[in-house]
Structures are given as structure tokens and as C-alpha cells.
Structure 1
Amino acid sequence: MGFLATDARDQIFGILALVKSDWGDSEPASYNDSVQEVYKKVTEMSLREEHRFSLLYLAGITHTRAVLDLPSWVPDFSHDININPFGLPSANSKLQYQAGGMTTSDVFKDLRFTENFLVLKGIIVDKISTYTRVRVAARQESYDEQHTNWWGWATEAYQLAKSCQKIDRFWKAIIAGIDHPSKEMAPSYYEQYFYRFKQIYINNTNHQNMDWKQAHALVSKDKGIDDDIKNAANSYLFAFVDASIGRRFCITSSGRFMLIPEASMTGDLVCIVQGAPAPLVLREADCVNKEQRTFILVGDCYIDGYMEGQGMMCQKFEDIFIS
């Protein structure tokens, strides 16, 4: 995003020059504003006037933040992110999730901005308990014991799921419920694709130190594997590597499977936001006002069983203050 930019605000104003920006009653961002203020104003404008949650899914403390003193709900536009946000559609596809129900203009009427807080309607549905290491791309490997490659991640996640004796939903969770290449909700036969993937890729320990592309090339050349089995295993492999990059596999306190951002910790909360496609991971912040809970945005997440609006059924939304 920062190509040829000499000022951390340049790319923002470059984009704004190409699109119609509706600032409403708000004062437009300008070069008279600090970097922090520009980023905050643009994010607020997108939420308030454009009725989009898109920028919220680029924010959170899990991402590199070179610009200091940004609220956690404001993205650092000076850096790219090494993750595929669940709340943003892939190229040439539509978003499949509706965790917070339909996104309508009425949803955004309840948004408030006070000081550095974003206040929105949400439901806390679960809490993070146990999780794996983070899966990182080959070019990033491997900073410390917290990082692992695709093979190590899949193996570790499978063992964690087995320890809870709830393996039946595992196949869906580690691809975030999305197939490949259509990027639609994964059909039930993807469960069989998972077992082909496990058979061909994971059970072969020769792959454990390979980049997934190397392993795929090796499998593709193997004439001893039936083409139908290869195709099934490869479809699942591609869905898996898309969903799991930059994520931990997690089991919540209620036993649900999740894909969570790297900075997540035990005790972090899962929040479904009214009208937002994907849930958020929040961390309760220390607050002087003990009567009002406040939160820090960690990042977005996938939680099995809640991505199609199920969490909204019998629960009431509350004001969620994110700093």
C-alpha cells in the first residue's frame, strides 16, 4: 500500500482522489491533520457514511502498527497485513458469512464515536481457551516457537481437536467453511476431501519440511495416486492454505472450533457485531470507569456454528466500547 508514498498519509489521499467520498457532516481529512487523525477520520467516514465494516477487518492489534497511538479499531494503512480477513470478500467472489445478520443502513445508525471509542451493538458469545501455534508463510518462517508451517499447523490442530473428542467438525473449521475455487460455503462432501488431504499430504512425513507449493508439485507428479483422489486433496489443500495463514486453531471455553488472529490470548472474547459478516476477537481493557466495560480489538475470526447468524437467536445486543 505504501508504494512510492513519501508520507504515511499519501496513499489515503491518493485513494480518496479516485473515489467519491461522502463525509456527511464530518470534517474531511486533510494534510493539516496528523497521520493518526487522517486514518481515524477515514475509518469513521467509511463506517458512518459508506455503511461498510470493511476497514474494521483490516484493524486490530494483531497487525503490525508502525503508526503509534491509533485506536485499535483504526487500521494502520502504512502496512500490508499477512492474513486473509474473514470479513472481506476474496477477488471476484461475494462474502458468504452473515454472523451478525443482514448488513443494512439501519445497523449503522446505532454506531457512535466518542473520544477514541467506537461504540457498536454486539453480543459476547464465547471465550478463547486453548490454541495452536501460528501458521506463517514460507517467506516468514520461522521466528520462534510460536510459528510453524502448514504441515506442522495442520498436524498440531488435528491433535488438539482429537484431545477434545470433537473431530467431526474439524474438516470445516480449518478451511473456515469455504471451498475452493468458488469461495462458497463448503458442501458436505468436503469432509471426504479432508480425509483425502490428510491421506495424501499430512500422513506423508516427507512433506513436513516442505513449503506447501513444493508438496503440491510432488503430489501432482506422483502417477501412483488416482487423479480423483489428487483433485479432492488439492481442492482441500488450497482452501486450507487460504483460511489458515496468519491464524491459530482454537478451541473455545464452550468447545467450539475457531480460527483466530496471532495476537489472541486465552481469555479473549468472541463478539458478534450486529450487521457485520465475521465476528471479532476482543480483549477487555483496564478502565477507570468500572461501570463501563471497554475492549481492545485483536482482529477478526471464524467460529464454527456462528457464521450464519445463529448467535443472534435468543440473545440481546449490548453496547460494545472499543478503544
Structure 2
Amino acid sequence: MPPILYSPLRRCESRLIHLHPGQWPDPVSFTLYTFSLQPPELPFFEAVSYTWGDQIMAPVICSGMTTQVTKSVETLLRRFRLIADTRLLWVDALCINQDDIQERTDQVQAMDLIYQRASRVLIYLGEADDYSDSAMDAIAERKTSTGSIQKKVLDFFEHRSWFSRVWVLQEVALADCALAICGSKCVPWANFPAWWAQNAAYLQDRIPPSILAYNPAMKKSFLQQLHDTRVSRATDPRDKVYALAGILSPEDRFVLAPDYRKSVAEIYAEVAAKIIKHQSSLRILSATQPFPGEQCPKFDGTSGSWVPNWSKESLLTSLGLSNLYLEPYDAGGSIALTKFETREEMDFLHIKCYGITLDVIQETGSVCPIEAPGESIAKVLNEWNDLISLPEDECFKLTSRLGKGIFFVGEQFFLVDPASDVLWPTIRAQPSTTLELTPDELAKREACPVTIDGLKFCLGRRFLMTKSGLPGLAPPLAIPGDIIAILLGAPVPHVLRKKDSYYTLVGECYVNGVMNGEALAHLSKEIALQVPGHRVRPFQKSKSTAPLEWFLIE
């Protein structure tokens, strides 16, 4: 069957589907027309938000000629078709010439205008199954759901792939009016986040889909949104970046022009460099998480270890990016000093970061399992407890060997007799205290049991001990001999591995007692001269005597 013939588009133009009327069994027929996105000439049209689905094809009639489209597109056109009237729809798979890279790039840049200026956005969640009608009815009522009804709604969110797409954030956030359709059921979109909010107290530790948790009132940075949507999916990995362009705050729209001629590695590296320059911060390094079977957290061998791979979900809870509701870390102070380098012998962009070598890893424990029974986690934590040794520095001395063990009882973890002032804060990755506590208050806090959520930062990580006796949490790929660096502008320390004349970034880490800038106190005057505006919390005594140096990271 012949493909759809597209005529070129001019600036501020797109195409609309004029969907011809018909009964449900009739063949789907439509015509494509060009239209202007400028308000005076804007017709009443509806933009469709949907999932592309599998590449199973089905026949349709476009301008009198039979052609092939994906089954999901054919089905949604059949569902939205009116019996007696023409309907104007915008569906990206048909309204954009997907084979024309330049047009695709231009239309993605205009996507925010299309969804903003659509009269309505129709969210197509697919056709009905045995449980979807009950789920849609419960969501429509916005009431507390229990038992089998709650399970049906949760299964509905989990198994309908639309909820895991990254593009839907922009498509729904920009809509003036959005309706969700599943089979013959139609529910205003506002009911969906309202249902979750109504039932939140009964959903325990369940994490809502990104689209239900998205709150435009919370002005999150581009970096934070990239991190928050890491679990969302995109057919093209480049869209993990481009799909967020339309919902960024004005100060974050720094030359993010979609360009599908570039590779995924090029785009991710370019975005990472721009975020670092724009924010004068190395917080983005906390997004470079390791993946199974990889030596280092790079993703395709054509980009540096410092570049996050947004196309993969992170295995670990990020120390530098996931502590929005906790006391913040500030190990490296406020402003980064960086340089970017490309040499003939380099295959990709390298970054030079200014900071200090805090210490060297001397010993590591087993990796704490991410998804395991509490008893298995407690077993690893007890192994970590045995690794604690008495450091020479007075500020880290313990009055006695750490307790009798860690036990998992009634969904809680207990450290028994006595409570440790090092192990317990370390496995919970606690920042340096903001308030001075009395001995009784400190003992009470450290003796409190901890739930699995309180241990989220140690799950998937190793316990580490440095040569000078500092305990901490290391990425799973860390090994003895790796160095721990505190880089200016990075909220947490990072593990680096020496390789010839440069370093590979192994991942972020936690080191007890240096998370608020304690290791930079001896360099405050020197840093102020070299990095104007740099701020770090003042301390009477520094936890380090290391000099500033450059780290070239591949």
C-alpha cells in the first residue's frame, strides 16, 4: 500500500486530520489539511494524547487512497469518529511526516503550542477490558476505594502504558481541557490525580505514576524534572529530554532545540554540559547511576562516565537528587569550577572539576539488596557493622565496639545495645546535624527503629571504610583503591577511579561527617579567591587537609 503523501509545511503550520463520519464497522477514512497555529486562524480542533503501541499495522483510507497505520492509531480514530459529522484531530503519528527528520524536529519544537491551543486534549487509554470500566467508574467518583475496586484501579494505572510515557506530562500539563477515554468511558482528567490524593493514605508506600504526581505549581528545575521522569518511557530515547521542553520554566529554557539528526549520546552530553554551565553546579553528577553488568555508569561507550543516561531507570535512590524533603547535603559548597575538554585522543567530551581528594577507600562491604526480605537486609547490615573500626581521629572515636546486632522485627530495623553514633546515621545517610542535640535527645534519636523507607539510601549500595577510618555508603561498583573526591559545587562526595591521566566517575557516595562542607573549612579563603560567590558552611576545624586540585573525568 502506498504511504501517505505529505506536502511541505511552512513556519507556524501543522496538519489536521479531518476524520470523516461513519458507523463503527465502516473503514476509517480521513483527509489531511494544513492549518496555521496563529490564533486568528485557529480552528476548533482536539489534540490526542495516546501510546504508539506495537507496530501492528491496519488499513485506513487517506484522501481516497488505502494506506497503513499502526493498529493503535486506527483504533483511536475509529473510537473518536462521529456518526454524522467531521471531527478535526491532531495525532502526531499522522500529522507529522515521521520520515522527514527536519519536519519532525520543527514539529516537536511546536508541540507545546499545539497542545496549548487545542480546544481539548483527548487522552486515549485504549479499549476496555474486563476491569477497566470499574476502574474508570471509581476514578470518576473520586471517592476512597477499598478492596477489589482499589486493586482494579491500581492495576489499571500499572498496565495501561499511557501512564508511563514521558510525553504525556507536556500533553496534559498544557491542556486547557483534558478528557480521558477508555473504551466507552469518558472521565475528565482532573479526576485522576484527585482519586490518588483521596486514596493516598491507603496506598501505603506506592509511588504514583509521574503524570499523577506532576504538580505545575512546584517550580522544579530541568535537572529535577529529568530525574523525576526517569521511570517514564519514550520510544525514542532522545525524547526523554525533548518531551520536557514545553513545561520548563523560562529560566530553564536554555537553547534546548530538538534535533533528531544528533545521536542520543550527543544530546545527553550536550544537555548535561548546559545544565552544569547554567546552574554552576555539579548536582547532575548524582544522576550518573550504575547499571547491571556495566563497568562504569556510561551507557554506550561514546559518552563520558559523567553524563547521565536518562533512558534507563536508576537502580539507586539518588543522594544528591532524591532528598527534596530531607535536610540538604552541601559537601562541595554552592558553585562549581569546571572546564570542558575535547582532545584528539578523546572520543568524547571530558569535564575537569575542581575539588579535593578526601580519602581512599580501604574496604567495602557487600551490596545491600534492593528488593529482598527484611531479614536479608539485616544480615548485610550486620556484616557492615563488623567492618566498623576505631579511627585515629578523636572526632570519630567510639566509646565501645558497636552493639550486639541489627534485627528486623515487625517491619522495622533495630540496632541493639548500644546505639551507634556512626553506623546508624551512615546507613540512613543523615546530613550533618542542623541542631545541637543534648545527649539524651541524641540517644533517643539513634535508638529509634527504622523502617525500610528510612534505609532507602543504603539499598543497592556498599558500606565503605576509608584509610583514615571514615565510614560511608559507596556505589555498588566501588572497589578498594578508588578515591573519594569532594568537588566544588557538588552536594555530595563522588567515587573516582584513576585511569591513565584521567578519572572515571564510579558514582556518588555518602561519607559520615563531611556532608555539609566540613572537609573544605581549611580552604575557605583560597576558594573565595578562585571561585567568586562560592559559599560553604563555616566550621572551626576542617575534616581534611587536602589541597585543591583538578580532576579530569572521562
**Does the alignment reach a TM-score above 0.5?**
yes
Q: Is the 8 A contact 1:98 1:308 kept in 2?
A: yes
Q: Is the 8 A contact 2:368 2:377 kept in 1?
A: yes
Report the counterpart of residue 422 of structure 2 in structure 1. 169
Shift in Å, 1:53? 2.9
How many Å separate the matches in 2 of 1:60 and 1:296? 13
Q: Which amino acid aligns with 1:79?
A: K
Structure 1 residues 29 and 72: alpha-carbon distance in aligned structure 2, compared to 1, 3 A threshold? farther
How many Å separate the matches in 2 of 1:254 and 1:301? 16
* Residue of structure 1 aligned with 2:517, choices 299, 309, 315: 309
Q: Is the 8 A contact 2:483 2:495 kept in 1?
A: yes
Report the counterpart of residue 254 of structure 1 in structure 2. 468
Q: Which runs of structure 2 are paired with 1:192-207 in the superposition (5 Å)?
A: 192-195=444-447
- C-alpha deviations, 1:249-273, integer Å up to 9, x for none? 1111111101010000100000001
Q: Does 1:100 align with 2:332?
A: yes
Structure 1 residues 2 and 309: alpha-carbon distance in aligned structure 2, compared to 1, 3 A threshold? closer
Shift in Å, 1:159? 1.4
Structure 1 residues 240 and 178: alpha-carbon distance in aligned structure 2, compared to 1, 3 A threshold? farther
* Residue of structure 2 aligned with 1:51, choices 262, 266, 280: 280
Q: Which amino acid aligns with 2:552?
A: F
Report the counterpart of residue 72 of structure 1 in structure 2. 305
How many Å separate the matches in 2 of 1:176 and 1:272? 16
Report the counterpart of residue 457 of structure 2 in structure 1. 243
Structure 1 residues 124 and 153: alpha-carbon distance in aligned structure 2, compared to 1, 3 A threshold? same
* Residue of structure 2 aligned with 1:263, choices 455, 463, 477: 477
Q: Is the 8 A contact 1:100 1:276 kept in 2?
A: yes
Q: Which amino acid aligns with 2:381?
A: A
Q: Which runs of structure 2 are paired with 1:266-285 in the superposition (5 Å)?
A: 266-285=480-499
Report the counterpart of residue 127 of structure 1 in structure 2. 360
Q: Which amino acid aligns with 2:496?
A: L
How many Å separate the matches in 2 of 1:253 and 1:266? 10
Shift in Å, 1:35? 0.6
SS at match of 1:46: helix
Report the counterpart of residue 56 of structure 2 in structure 1. none
- C-alpha deviations, 1:249-307, integer Å up to 9, x for none? 111111110101000010000000112210111001123xxxxxx11101111111211
SS at match of 1:49: helix
How many Å separate the matches in 1 of 2:326 and 2:455? 19
Shift in Å, 1:317? 1.9
Normalising by structure 1, we get a TM-score of 0.71
Report the counterpart of residue 36 of structure 1 in structure 2. 265
Q: Is the 8 A contact 1:58 1:75 kept in 2?
A: yes
Shift in Å, 1:158? 1.0
Unaligned runs of 5+ in 1: 142-147, 196-231, 288-293
Q: Is the 8 A contact 1:62 1:261 kept in 2?
A: no
Q: Which amino acid aligns with 1:150?
A: I
How many Å separate the matches in 2 of 1:61 and 1:3? 18
Q: Which amino acid aligns with 1:112?
A: K
Q: Does 1:86 align with 2:319?
A: yes
Across the aligned residues of Structure 1 and Structure 2, the Cα RMSD in angstroms comes to: 2.9
Q: Percent identity?
A: 25
Shift in Å, 1:311? 0.8
* Residue of structure 2 aligned with 1:152, choices 353, 372, 379: 379
Higher normalized contact order (CA 8 Å, seq sep 6+, divided by chain length): 1
* Residue of structure 1 aligned with 2:247, choices 3, 18, 22: 18
How many Å separate the matches in 1 of 2:431 and 2:452? 10
How many Å separate the matches in 2 of 1:191 and 1:133? 28
Shift in Å, 1:184? 7.7
Equivalent residue pairs, number: 261
- C-alpha deviations, 1:46-67, integer Å up to 9, x for none? 1011334332101155676553
- Bigger radius of gyration: 2
SS at match of 1:295: strand
Q: Is the 8 A contact 1:279 1:300 kept in 2?
A: yes
Unaligned runs of 5+ in 2: 1-229, 343-348, 392-396, 403-420, 523-545
How many Å separate the matches in 1 of 2:435 and 2:321? 15
Q: Is the 8 A contact 2:462 2:475 kept in 1?
A: yes
Shift in Å, 1:150? 1.5
Report the counterpart of residue 211 of structure 1 in structure 2. none
Q: Which amino acid aligns with 2:504?
A: I
Shift in Å, 1:191? 4.4
How many Å separate the matches in 1 of 2:431 and 2:513? 13
How many Å separate the matches in 1 of 2:456 and 2:466? 22
How many Å separate the matches in 2 of 1:176 and 1:277? 13
Q: Which runs of structure 2 are paired with 1:169-188 in the superposition (5 Å)?
A: 169-177=422-430
